[in-house]
Amino acid sequence: MNEKIILYGVIIFILAILIIGTFVKPRTMSVGKIVDNIDNSDYSNLPEKCQPPAGQDIESWKEHLGHHAETKECLQYFK
């Protein structure tokens, strides 16, 4: 009788871990996707000339902005 209780306890524990893992893993993965998307979509509230192009590295975009007099004021958004 005690062996069955221990066996059921182990099975319930393993199922609980699997269920929790199922719900936690997608959240972690979607957070990673959100972080990837922040690079360009987070700047949508900036003036058009200050928004980095899709896929553009922010550091190289800041360097690019600094080379042009008409976009130097955009650097204030990337501090």
Q: Is 71 exposed, middle or buried (0-12, 13-18, 19+ CB in 10 A)?
A: middle
Q: What is the pLDDT of residue 30?
A: 46
Could you tell me the mean pLDDT of each successive run of 10 residues in the chain, 79 residues long? 91 92 61 43 82 87 90 87
Q: Please enumerate in sequence order all residues whose Cβ is within 8 A of that of 44, keeping only pairs 6 or more positions apart, or say none.
A: 51
Q: What is the pLDDT of residue 26?
A: 54
Kindly give the residue spans of alpha helices, DSSP state H, lying in 1-79: 2-41, 58-66
